[in-house]
């Protein structure tokens, strides 16, 4: 295509091919007062894609609680949320999906997901100090799942390890619903001085606009549109839509960017993620209510025959757009020269509010910035929703429908060798979890990751949580549980929950039953975040996670609203760990045992029943228990705390025993079935260990909080005993628990 | 005594090393930029971990040709002290400053975990202050840490007491089961014949801060500092 072709009037067919609807195409013509040319149509197609515009989700996202006493930057205002953590410091943190690229090219898909989320953090001026990830795959019986898992883990590892930021936590979950469409959600958290934030806003007509970092190539063109449609058997044809990552360039860009942040040369900066130059120029301009004139021929390119639309839509990684204060260009150029990176002046800020792209002085696109962006002219849709039949059906389930197993010892062993329960060591050890020398969990494991803030008395606590089976069975309650569990993990680690970021992975929003799941999840998240005073600081929405089948139907993934939570330990000495410390310590259950196996891994994997109500959950019970755990930690009355989640009480206790090779001897509750006692996943329960000397003070304090507590038994030298039934020794069970995943992967 | 920590593009353990030497051990430290040719008066040079120049050719292969390395090599050849950790060790083997080579881990995967090391050399600066019977818990984090040297070299290294550490378990047992990456004879660290250049894959700087619940690595630095004082 010549430049002339770039100027040719776009047709409706072209627009539809690029994902725009006829109504949207008409609307564009109305905005411009003319039919767009081909280049302009391309620009709208990516900016109005689901991925960039949030057109099918924004109505509901706006209902989430966004404000809190510690919020410095609220959701949607900048690249990531920013939370005041005291001492003049702030934490920028965010989670994002890279599902579609990972489905067809797991290695690069996952790697560039890691790169993108870290750029969101350091473009604000914060140095990333910790990463987490939340991964979901289909059944491991399938060879393709192994290929995906292997590739995703290697992609995350190779990128993050070289970039040099530790992976401090995460989750991996397997279910058939993710068979074709895995979920790869990456989270990063960074620390900065509160008053040194770099804004993603353009200002000051006459100020030069720079592109810095890597050169622009043909990779990832239209990645945003690719991420906004269903995965089909033809998706592999979209391979050029997947970007290629270079962690070495990212590391240089990080250092150069932070060095730049310490100067007074920067007016604003935004990383180039989805929709590359198009998105960064239009969003920064719209945020500052200005325009830009951009010379596309000045952009450093990898190939010399790139067309205007290719340069505009390229999602080549490791690039940033920087608006520099006029007269301070040399400062910027010197810093990027030092780090051997490109820094090219490609344009200027104008007072027109119009984005103009030029190729060799010829105007190829002229669009009002505001018309392109979320909160401006981008469309907003209301989608209809309808309760699916499976929901009411699942609510009918009762525990009496399944027979109690005769031999719980056998069930316990099956549970430990279930990939959803077994140790994820095979995954975790491929990530550098210690670089930066701040991960306090390496030698002292706790429910949430705890990361030291060197030079202060503080630490931050981070976790990602979502049990998607609960959410599938009851979107509203399941999402409340996801938030509650995240908060519980932070509290059990000695922290105070502060704020959340979310990654909302759902099916096709045009499917009313999928949208019903989405609406329920938002309602549940709102309720829980209000109650825990953890505002939503941002994140992303990933729709179209489903597999289109040959007969035209589609099966969505489990609705998966992943919650990434930040907590603060004002005094890092309150860091509380989950491991049994001493033989003879008393083991208490805080919270009540319920005759409840709803939505548990036990019910799904041992009995094959997928639909049942969400597990027992009561918000006020949960809050009371968390407050009591906080008080116990403050008084230093407990030796260990671990919440009961996937796999139930038995798995939780074994996880406590493994670090030091200690076992437990406990009695069950005669009021509930033994399978429910051991493997049920009813919420708001925590296992605590207490030295005998502190028993009285412990019970007094618990009494003041009026929460239920039961003495279950004591820590043993290594034997695992429940009601006098011998379950084996911890050192034997360790093999089962720790080797399962590695054994499957090496088969 | 002044330490100089070299910063290559792609180094990512440089600041961790500076933190331990300066903030925890109270030593004077200079950062040495790869493009410069100035050791800033440092007596003891440290090549930190990371992925120098992206490690795209072979770990450490490009870093040895950077401008600062000419001065670092000259410093070592004059008998000046030099230690490389992880990627720094890889650079030292590429520059032939210590014997042997570092290959891909036998499982072909990156491995990050705590390992145990048994100090070997009675004469080397980093180990002579350590109890040879007490294993140290020091983490590894590498994809290419599988140490290899031919039999002749191994014999010479034994004769000259050049092996610094071998991987072992918590009880100090050295065998195949306690070898995380396939290193020949469980070797985790070595020195040159002159006893002034040291290389090790495990990261002592990651086991030196009380806040992280493990200070075994600090003993290695303290052995070095005590040894230097004795020589002074």
Q: Which of A576, A559, A366 is nearest to A473 (CA)?
A: A559
pLDDT tens, B141-166? 999 999 999 999 999 999 999 999 99
**Residues 6 or more apart from A723 whose CB is under 8 A from it?**
A666, A667, A668, A674
With 90 as the cut, is the pLDDT of residue A147 above it? yes
Rounded-to-integer distance, Cα A282 and Cα A702, Å = 56
B131-140, pLDDT tens digit by residue?
999 999 999 9
Query: Distances from the Cα of B158 to the Cαs of A65, A218, A228, B146, B164, in angstroms?
Result: 66, 55, 62, 18, 10
Q: Average pLDDT of A261-272?
A: 94
Nearest to A346, CA basis, from A337, A336, A356, A338: A356
Please tell me if residue A631 touches chain B, with a CB cutoff of 8 Å: no
Dist CA B52 CA B94 (whole Å): 13
pLDDT in tens, A602-635: 999 999 999 999 999 999 999 999 999 999 999 9
Q: Which of A70, A98, A100, A616 is catalytic?
A: A98
> For residue A303, how many other CB atoms are within 10 A of its CB?
10
Task: Give the model confidence (pLDDT) of A481-540 as tens digits.
Answer: 999 999 999 999 999 999 999 999 999 999 999 999 999 999 999 999 999 999 999 999
Mean pLDDT in residue range B90-101: 97
- Cα distance from B170 to chain A (closest Cα, Å)? 12
Alpha carbon distance B34, B31 (integer Å): 10
Query: Residues A381-414: pLDDT tens digits?
Result: 999 999 999 999 999 999 999 999 999 999 999 9
What is the four-CA torsion angle of A89, A91, A92, A96, rounded to 10 degrees? 170
Identify whether the C-beta of residue A577 lies closer than 8 Å to the C-beta of residue A444: yes
State how far the Cα of A41 lies from the Cα of A402, in Å rounded to an integer.
58
Secondary structure letter of residue B108 according to DSSP? S
Residue A286 vs residues A121, A268, A481, A646: alpha-carbon distances, Å? 21, 13, 37, 45
pLDDT band at residue A233 under the 50/70/90 scheme: low
* Beta-carbon separation of A434 and B206 below 8 A: yes
What pLDDT, on a 0 to 100 scale, did the predictor assign at position A226?
A: 60
Interface of A with B in 350-379 (CB under 8 A): none
Task: Please say whether the beta carbons of A593 and A710 come within 8 A.
Answer: yes
Question: Which is more confident, A4 or A331?
Answer: A331
Q: Enumerate the residues of chain A whose CB falls inside 8 A of the CB of residue B13.
A: 164, 435
ipTM: 0.97
pLDDT, averaged across chain A: 94
Which residues of A fall within a CB distance of 8 Å from B213? 440, 442-444
Using the predicted structure, report yes or no on whether residue A659 has a pLDDT greater than 70.
yes
Q: What is the pLDDT of residues A408-455, one digit of tens each?
A: 999 999 999 999 999 999 999 999 999 999 999 999 999 999 999 999
Question: Once rounded to an integer, what is the mean pLDDT over residues B114-121?
Answer: 98
Using 50, 70 and 90 to split pLDDT, how confident is the model at A239?
low
Q: In chain B, which residue's Cα lies nearest the Cα of A341?
A: B9
The DSSP 8-state label assigned to residue A198 in this structure reads P
Closest residue on chain B to A340 (Cα): B9
Q: If residue A489 lies in a helix (H) or strand (E), which one and from where to where?
A: helix A475-492
The radius of gyration of chain B from alpha carbons, rounded to an integer in Å, stands at 16
The HSE-up count of residue A747 (CA atoms within 13 Å, CB side) is 12
Whole-number Å distance between alpha carbons of B89 and B96: 10
Query: Which is catalytic among the residues B34, B75, B142, B203?
Result: B203
Length of chain A: 747
Whether A51 is a known active-site residue: answer yes
CB A82, CB A71: distance < 8 Å:
yes
Q: A505 in helix, strand or coil?
A: strand
Q: What confidence score (pLDDT) does residue B64 get?
A: 83
- Residues 6 or more apart whose CB falls under 8 angstroms from that of A90 comprise A72, A82, A83, A84, A126, A191, A192, A193, A194, A197
Cβ contact B110–A434 (<8 Å) = no
> What stretches of B32-108 show up as alpha helix (H) in DSSP?
67-77, 87-94
Q: Give the per-residue pLDDT at A81.
A: 87
Which of B34, B86, B94, B144 is labelled catalytic? B86
Closest alpha carbon to A75 in A87, A85, A63, A90: A63
Give the HSE-up count for residue A349: Cα atoms under 13 Å, Cβ half-sphere: 28
The pLDDT tens digits for A82-105 are 999 999 999 999 999 999 999 999
Comparison of pLDDT for A69 and A165, the residue scoring more: A165
The reported pLDDT for the residue numbered A229 is 66
> Per-residue pLDDT tens for A664-685?
999 999 999 999 999 999 999 9
Write the pLDDT tens digit of every residue in B24-76: 999 999 999 999 999 999 999 999 999 998 888 778 888 888 999 999 999 99
Return the exposure string of A700-723: e unless at least 16 CB atoms fall within 10 Å of the residue's CB, then b. ebbeebebebeebbbbbebebbbe
Q: Which of B158, B49, B165, B149 is nearest to B115 (CA)?
A: B165
CA angle, A517 then A522 then A525, to 5°: 120
The DSSP bridge partners found for residue A690 are A586
User: Is A248 in contact with B9 (Cβ distance < 8 A)?
Assistant: yes
Helix intervals (H) in A48-142? 50-53, 58-61, 99-104, 106-122
Interchain CB distance below 8 Å, B19 and A433: no
Q: Distance between CA A665 and CA A644 in Å, rounded?
A: 17
Q: Which of A627, A631, A597 is nearest to A615 (CA)?
A: A597
CA atoms within 13 A on the CB side of A721: 12
Q: Is A161 within 8 Å of B139 when comparing Cβ atoms?
A: no
> Is residue A245 very low, low, confident or very high in pLDDT (cuts 50, 70, 90)?
confident
β-bridge partners, A268? A323
Q: Looking at chain A from residue 57 to 76, which residues have their Cβ under 8 Å from any Cβ of chain B?
A: none
The dihedral over CA atoms of B55, B59, B62, B66, expressed in degrees to the nearest 10, equals 100
What percent of chain A lies above the pLDDT cut of 70? 97
Residues 427-456 of A with CB under 8 A from B: 428-440, 442-444, 452, 454
- Secondary structure of residue A193 in the 3-state scheme: strand
Which one of B109, B205, B206 has the shortest CB-CB distance to A430?
B109
Q: pLDDT band at A4, cuts 50/70/90?
A: low
For residue A225, which phi and psi values (nearest 5 degrees)?
Answer: -70, -35
A3, A359 contact by CB (below 8 A)? yes
CB of B145 within 8 Å of any CB in chain A? no
Out of A157, A248, A444, whose CB is closest to B213?
Answer: A444
Instruction: Confirm if A383 and A601 have CB atoms less than 8 A apart.
Output: no
Q: Is B163 helix (H, G, I), strand (E, B) or coil?
A: strand
Please report which confidence band the pLDDT of residue A1 belongs to, taking 50, 70 and 90 as the band edges. very low
The arithmetic mean of pLDDT across residues A370-377, rounded, is 92
User: Is the pLDDT score of A39 beyond 50?
Assistant: yes
Nearest to A430 among B16, B110, B209 (CB): B110
* A667 phi, psi to nearest 5 deg: -115, 145
Asked if the Cβ–Cβ distance from B9 to A452 is below 8 Å, we say no
d(CA A233, CA A236): 7
Name the percent of chain A lying above pLDDT 90. 88
Write the CATH number of the domain with boundaries B2-231. 3.40.50.880
A337 shares contact with chain B (CB less than 8 Å): no
Report yes or no: A248 at the B interface, CB cutoff 8 Å: yes
In sequence order, the β-bridge partners of residue B190 are B163, B199
Residue A172 to residues A151, B217, B229, Cα–Cα distance (Å): 14, 32, 51
In the predicted structure, residue A3 carries a pLDDT above the cut 70: no
């Amino acid at each position: 295509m010549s430049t002339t072709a770039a100027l040719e009037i776009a047709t409706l067919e072209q627009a539809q091919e690029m994902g725009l609807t006829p109504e949207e195409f008409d609307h564009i013509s109305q905005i411009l007062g003319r039919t767009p040319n081909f280049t302009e149509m391309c620009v709208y197609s990516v900016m109005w894609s689901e991925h960039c515009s949030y057109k099918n989700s924004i109505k509901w996202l706006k209902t989430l609680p966004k404000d809190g006493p510690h919020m410095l930057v609220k959701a949607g205002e900048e690249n990531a949320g920013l939370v005041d953590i005291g001492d003049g410091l702030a934490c920028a943190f965010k989670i994002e999906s890279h599902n579609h690229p990972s489905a067809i090219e797991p290695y690069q898909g996952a790697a560039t997901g890691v790169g993108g989320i870290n750029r969101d953090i350091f473009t604000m001026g914060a140095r990333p100090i910790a990463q987490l990830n939340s991964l979901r795959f289909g059944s491991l019986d399938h060879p393709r799942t192994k290929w995906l898992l292997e590739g995703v883990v290697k992609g995350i590892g190779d990128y993050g390890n070289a970039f040099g930021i530790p992976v401090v936590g995460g989750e991996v979950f397997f279910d058939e619903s993710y068979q074709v469409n895995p979920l790869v959600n990456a989270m990063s958290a960074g620390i900065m001085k509160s008053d040194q934030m770099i804004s993603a806003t353009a200002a000051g007509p006459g100020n030069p606009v720079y592109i810095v970092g890597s050169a622009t190539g043909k990779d990832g063109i239209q990645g945003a549109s690719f991420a906004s449609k269903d995965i089909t058997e033809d998706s592999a044809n979209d391979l050029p839509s997947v970007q290629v990552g270079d962690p070495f360039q990212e590391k240089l860009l990080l250092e150069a960017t932070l060095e730049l942040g310490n100067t007074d040369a920067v007016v604003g900066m935004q990383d180039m993620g989805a929709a590359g130059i198009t998105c960064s120029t239009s969003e920064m301009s719209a945020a500052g209510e200005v325009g830009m004139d951009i010379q596309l021929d000045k952009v450093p390119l990898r190939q010399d025959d790139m067309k205007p639309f290719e340069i505009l839509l390229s999602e080549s990684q490791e690039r940033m757009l920087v608006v520099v204060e006029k007269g301070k260009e040399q400062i910027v150029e010197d810093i990027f020269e030092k780090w051997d990176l490109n820094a090219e002046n490609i344009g200027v800020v104008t007072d027109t509010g119009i984005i103009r792209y030029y190729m060799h002085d010829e105007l190829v696109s002229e669009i009002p910035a505001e018309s392109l962006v979320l909160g401006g002219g981008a469309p907003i849709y209301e989608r209809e929703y309808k309760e699916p039949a499976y929901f009411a059906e699942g609510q009918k389930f009762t525990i009496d429908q399944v027979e109690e197993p005769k031999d719980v010892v056998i069930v316990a062993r099956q549970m430990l060798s279930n990939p959803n329960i077994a140790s994820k060591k095979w995954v975790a050890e491929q990530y550098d979890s210690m670089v930066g020398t701040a991960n306090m969990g390496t030698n002292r494991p706790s429910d949430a990751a705890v990361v030291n803030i060197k030079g202060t008395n503080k630490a931050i606590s981070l976790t990602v949580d979502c049990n998607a089976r609960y959410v599938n069975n009851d979107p509203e309650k399941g999402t409340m549980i996801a938030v509650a569990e995240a908060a519980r993990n932070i509290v059990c680690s000695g922290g105070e929950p502060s704020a959340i970021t979310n990654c909302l992975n759902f099916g096709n929003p045009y499917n009313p039953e999928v949208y019903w799941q989405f609406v329920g999840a938002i309602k549940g998240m709102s309720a829980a975040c209000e109650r825990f005073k953890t505002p939503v600081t941002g994140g992303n929405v990933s729709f179209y996670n489903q597999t289109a089948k040959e007969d035209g139907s589609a099966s969505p993934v489990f609705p998966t609203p992943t919650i990434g939570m930040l907590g603060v330990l004002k005094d890092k000495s309150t860091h509380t760990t989950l491991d049994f410390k001493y033989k003879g310590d008393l083991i208490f259950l805080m919270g009540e045992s319920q005759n409840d196996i709803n939505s548990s891994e036990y019910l799904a994997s041992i009995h094959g029943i997928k639909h049942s109500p969400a597990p027992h959950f009561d918000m006020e019970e949960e809050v009371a228990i968390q407050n009591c755990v906080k008080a116990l930690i403050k008084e230093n009355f407990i030796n260990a705390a671990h919440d009961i989640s996937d796999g139930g009480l038995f798995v939780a206790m074994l996880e406590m025993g493994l670090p030091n090779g200690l076992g437990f001897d406990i009695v069950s509750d005669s009021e509930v079935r033994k399978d429910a006692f051991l493997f049920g996943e009813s919420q708001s329960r925590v296992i605590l260990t207490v030295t005998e000397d502190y028993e009285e003070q412990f019970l007094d304090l618990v009494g003041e909080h009026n929460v239920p507590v039961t003495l279950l038994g004591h820590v043993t030298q290594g034997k695992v005993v429940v009601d006098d039934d011998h379950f084996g020794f911890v050192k034997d069970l360790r093999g089962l628990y720790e080797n399962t995943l590695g054994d499957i992967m090496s088969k | 005594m002044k330490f100089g920590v070299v910063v290559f593009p792609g180094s990512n353990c440089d600041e961790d090393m500076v933190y331990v030497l300066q903030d925890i051990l109270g030593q004077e430290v200079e950062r040495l930029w790869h493009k410069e040719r100035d050791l800033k008066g440092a007596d003891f040079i440290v090549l930190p971990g990371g992925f120098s120049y992206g490690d795209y050719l072979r770990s450490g292969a490009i870093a040895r040709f950077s401008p600062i390395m000419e001065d670092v090599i000259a410093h070592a050849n004059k008998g000046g002290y030099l230690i490389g950790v992880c990627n720094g060790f890889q650079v030292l083997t590429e520059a032939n400053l210590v014997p042997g080579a570092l290959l891909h881990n036998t499982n072909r995967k990156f491995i990050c975990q705590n390992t145990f090391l048994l100090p070997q050399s009675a004469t080397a600066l980093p180990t002579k202050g350590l109890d040879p019977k007490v294993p140290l818990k020091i983490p590894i984090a590498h994809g290419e840490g599988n140490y290899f040297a031919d039999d002749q070299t191994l014999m010479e290294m034994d004769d000259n007491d050049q092996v610094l550490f071998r991987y072992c378990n918590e009880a100090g047992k050295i065998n195949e089961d306690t070898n995380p990456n396939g290193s020949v004879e469980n070797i985790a660290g070595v020195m040159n014949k002159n006893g002034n250049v040291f290389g090790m894959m495990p990261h002592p700087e990651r086991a030196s801060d009380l806040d992280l619940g493990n200070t075994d690595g600090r003993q290695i630095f303290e052995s070095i500092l005590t040894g230097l004082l004795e020589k002074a």
